């Protein structure tokens, strides 16, 4: 599965997702760190990739746009190591739900 990581998450999350067997890109590395949420959403749909973000603004896009999925990391401010531990622990469930056709998966700390 392929993921597009939003600017509010660390670029090192790419490595964690690779460890878990997934492809990932980060908007900063694609020089899109100033892009609008709508532009990121459209890019994700064209790749195709699922958007990962802490940004609640994507919730409105996933509800009205059916072109891709969204993983909302509703985890507040925490260290990168804590974030990576949450991702490692929850990702099998996240991908199972996405593969089952869910377009929105929310992770809470």
User: Average pLDDT of 32-39?
Assistant: 92
Q: Which CATH number fits domain 2-108: 3.40.190.290, 1.10.3720.10, 3.40.50.2300, 3.40.50.300?
A: 3.40.50.2300
Query: Which pLDDT score is estimated for 102?
Result: 95
Region 90-99: mean pLDDT is 97
Q: Please state whether the predicted TM-score (pTM) of the whole model is above 0.75.
A: yes
Which pLDDT tens digit goes with each residue over 40-81?
A: 999 999 999 999 999 999 999 998 888 899 999 999 999 999
Which residues are within 8 A (CB) of 93 and not within 5 positions of it... i.e. 6 or more apart?
A: none
SS3 of 36-103: the string is: CHHHHHHHHHHCCCEEEECCCCHHHHHHHCCCCCEEEEECCCCCHHHHHHHHHHHHHHHHHHHHCCCC
Summarize the confidence of residues 19-35 as an average pLDDT: 96
């Amino acid at each position: 599965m392929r993921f597009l990581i939003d600017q509010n998450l660390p670029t090192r999350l790419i490595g964690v997702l690779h460890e878990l067997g997934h492809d990932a890109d980060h908007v900063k590395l694609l020089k899109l760190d100033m892009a609008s949420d709508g532009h990121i959403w459209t890019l994700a749909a064209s790749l195709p990739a699922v958007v990962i973000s802490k940004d609640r603004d994507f919730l409105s896009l996933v509800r009205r746009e059916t072109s891709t999925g969204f993983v909302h990391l509703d985890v507040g401010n925490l260290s990168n190591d804590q974030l990576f531990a949450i991702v490692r622990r929850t990702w099998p469930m996240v991908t199972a739900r996405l593969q089952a056709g869910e377009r929105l998966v929310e992770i809470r700390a």
